[in-house]
Structure 1
Amino acid sequence: MTDFLLSCYQHANIGSDCIALVNLALAGSIGMTLVILACALPQYNLWWPSFVILFYVFSVIPTLIMKRSMQSALFGPSYVDLSIFLTMGFIVSSFGLPIVLERCGIIKLGASILTICGNIVVYLTIFGYFLFLDPDETTYGGMA
């Protein structure tokens, strides 16, 4: 692992970006492992918590569309707020799904906790990607 990081730094001359990418990949793997454990452990053995993976994919789509569309004058601040609202809706839904499934008795409490922990790690990874590897000059929500 150390040799890989050293070769990234020496050959590509983008040491901090390469290290950030490796750390984000590790964090994403840990988060997905927690979600898979919530589904696959013998005491749980239900695959309902894996539906949060759809929310992981859908949560970044409004932000990516808005970032691509910011160059045109067609989209204003209200569309930025709409994309933030939709993104937050997907994030809240991914935390709410395991709680609702546990309250209905479909999954057990341990599976719900593992899924929520996986959600935290995956969303921190996505946030880290947008923060470190995909910077932009725009401000969201009219805040400077």
Structure 2
Amino acid sequence: MAFVIMACALPEYALWWPFFVVLFYVLAPIPTMMARRYSDHSGSSNSCLESAIFITMGILVCSFALPIVLARGSVIKWGSCYLTLTGNVIVYGTLLGFFLAFEADDSDYNMW
């Protein structure tokens, strides 16, 4: 989050458009968490979980595409775009670590 805030608040950038990626941070894990909570845990392929993963990946791609589109449209500067993309990598790496840590545990994140 520090990189995203720096991309918005540094004096040479001074625009808060890149902060809209925070909406994607909130939306990204929701489809997967809902699908894992309401799906049966059989060994076969689960279309609900696969659809949720597809929606999650669409949200993830949008969060990387938004700063690039804003920078190409000259709405924000490229330095702000790079800081936002760095923040994206760190936030999604943390979310991935969260999901992987609770996948092998007996108590899962569904209790939250």
| Short-chain TM bin | 0.7 to 0.9
Alignment pair present for 1:128 and 2:67: no
Calculate the aligned-residue CA RMSD, in Å. 1.7
Question: With structure 1 as the length reference, what TM-score do the two structures score?
Answer: 0.68
Is the CA contact (8 Å cut-off) linking 2:39 and 2:48 kept in structure 1? no
Select which of 39, 48, 57 maps to 1:88.
Answer: 57
Question: Cα deviation per residue 1:52-83 (whole Å; 9 max; x = unaligned)?
Answer: 0000110000011011112489xx61111100
2:30 & 2:58 partners in 1: Cα distance? Answer: 12
Alignment pair present for 1:47 and 2:16: yes
- 1:112 is matched with 81
> Which structure's residues are more often helix, by fraction?
1
Q: State the aligned residue count.
A: 103
2:54 & 2:73 partners in 1: Cα distance? Answer: 27
* SS at structure 1 position matched to 2:12: coil
Question: With structure 2 as the length reference, what TM-score do the two structures score?
Answer: 0.87
- 2:29 is matched with 60
Residue pairs, 1:4-83, within 5 angstroms? 32-71=1-40, 77-83=46-52
Instruction: Detail structure 1 runs of 4+ shifted over 2 Å in the superposition.
Output: none
Higher Rg: 1
Structure 2: any 5+ residue segments left out of the alignment? 106-112
Residue 135 of structure 1 aligns with an amino acid whose one-letter code is E
Structure 1: any 5+ residue segments left out of the alignment? 1-31, 138-144
1:44 & 1:80 partners in 2: Cα distance? Answer: 40
